[in-house]
Every structure is written in C-alpha cells, then in structure tokens.
Chains A and B, each alone.
Chain A
Amino acid sequence: AQRVTQPEKLLSVFKGAPVELKCNYSYSGSPELFWYVQYSRQRLQLLLRHISRESIKGFTADLNKGETSFHLKKPFAQEEDSAMYYCALSGRPTSGSRLTFGEGTQLTVNP
C-alpha cells in the first residue's frame, strides 16, 4: 500500500519568510514523488518531481529515504505562492501507476 501524509492543513507565513511544507510517505518499493499546486480558480498543476532535482519558482524538495519525507521548501515566500499544495506518490516502474495524494496544505503568504 502507498500512503502520503501532509500533517499541516493550514500554513501561514509572512512575505519574505522561509516556508516548509511537510510531506511524509510510506511505500515498500522505490517511489516517485511529486508536488502539485492549485492556485485559486486554476487547475491542478505539477510544481516539481524528485527525479528532476529541479527548482521551480524558488521551491525545492529533497527526497529523504531514511526519513521517508519529501518536504517542500522556499527560502523567501512571496504573496503569489499562496495556494493549495499537494504532495503525491507514484509507484515505479510501471506505466500508468496510480498517483496517491496527501490531504493538502493551504499556504497563505501574508504581506
């Protein structure tokens, strides 16, 4: 079974402050981890995935297999970062693997 947990439903920070959205997972194999973002009135979109090891909009996320975590971080939050963030896991390596989502964290960046 695969499971994703996002312990914080709501997170509020001030502009310019660092932000960390937590994500923990359980999966017996080698997972593929993603962060998705949903801005107000927009469709869910991919923010980043661990296999790409990229930084998107200043966000980074490192897969920690020992702690089974994939926390999303940004050193200086911006007001436009306010959105709902979902951590997701897909089993590998099969085509069409199901994607399991966490409950989501609503991030609010205050001016």
Chain B
Amino acid sequence: DGGITQSPKYLFRKEGQNVTLSCEQNLNHDAMYWYRQDPGQGLRLIYYSQIVNDFQKGDIAEGYSVSREKKESFPLTVTSAQKNPTAFYLCASRGAPQANYGYTFGSGTRLTVV
C-alpha cells in the first residue's frame, strides 16, 4: 500500500496526554519527515531525519518529539506541551535525490483532542 504506512488512521487524545503516531516504510529510504496539515496553512514540517539515530527540528517542533532507532520507523509523539494538537499528520520518506526519487507520503493520521 504505497510503501509507507501510518497508524492509526484516527486518534483521540485527552487533555494532558501524550500520544504516539506510527510511521513505517519498506522503501529502504534514508530520509523521513513529519508534517502537520491544517486548512489554509498547507503542510508544515515538524521533524525530519536523514539517517538512523539522527533527526532535526522543522519549523514547528515545539510540543513534539521523535526517534529514529530503525531505518524503517519514525514515530512521532505529540506531548501535552503541544497547545493545539488537533490536526492531520502526514509522514513522508525519500530515497536518494540523485536517483530522482521523489517523496512518498503516507495516508495520514487525524488527531483530535477531546
């Protein structure tokens, strides 16, 4: 199913809870990304990782954390410090640019705070 899988599709979080969104890829891609999609704001980069055991903050990293212990996995934790977590979250991966690989996106997780 496209090589990159996000789960769950829908997630509900109570105030003050941390939740973790899963992203797994079987494309053997080195780089992985997390974006947040809000109406009228496009996609904004939260975190990205170019290689295992390394990651960098994107434009809106506050209130989020990630890990990259395995090449195929890049989970995102939305912490209680994130003030407005309700959004649609997209994970993406990319192979080597010199091979003309584009970015592949998952189908997304919709997070709602209840």
- Please give the residue numbers on chain A whose beta carbons come within 8 Å of chain B beta carbons, in ascending order: 6, 9, 32, 34, 43-46, 49, 51-52, 86, 90, 92-104
Q: Mark B81-107, 1 if CB is under 8 A from A, else 0.
A: 000000000101010111010110111
Q: Give 9 nearest A-B pairs by CB, closest first.
A: A96-B31, A96-B50, A103-B42, A101-B43, A44-B105, A46-B102, A43-B107, A101-B42, A104-B42
Docked-complex contact A86 and B97, CB < 8 angstroms = no
Docked-complex contact A86 and B43, CB < 8 angstroms = yes
Docked-complex contact A98 and B42, CB < 8 angstroms = no
Q: Which of B41, B51, B100, B108 contacts A96 (CB 8 A)?
A: B51
Docked-complex contact B106 and A95, CB < 8 angstroms = no
Docked-complex contact A103 and B41, CB < 8 angstroms = yes
A-B contact pairs, 7 of them (CB 8 A): A44-B105, A46-B103, A52-B100, A96-B49, A97-B97, A99-B92, A101-B35
Docked-complex contact B100 and A32, CB < 8 angstroms = no
Docked-complex contact B40 and A96, CB < 8 angstroms = no
Say whether B64 faces chain A, with CB atoms less than 8 Å apart: no
A47 to B48, CA, bound (A): 22
Given contacts A32-B97, A96-B30, contact A43 B103 (CB under 8 A): no
Docked-complex contact B43 and A9, CB < 8 angstroms = no
From residue 35 to 53 of chain B, which have CB atoms closer than 8 A to chain A?
35, 40-45, 48-51
Which A residues touch B90, using CB under 8 A? 44
Which A residues touch B51, using CB under 8 A? 96
A101 to B40, CA, bound (A): 12
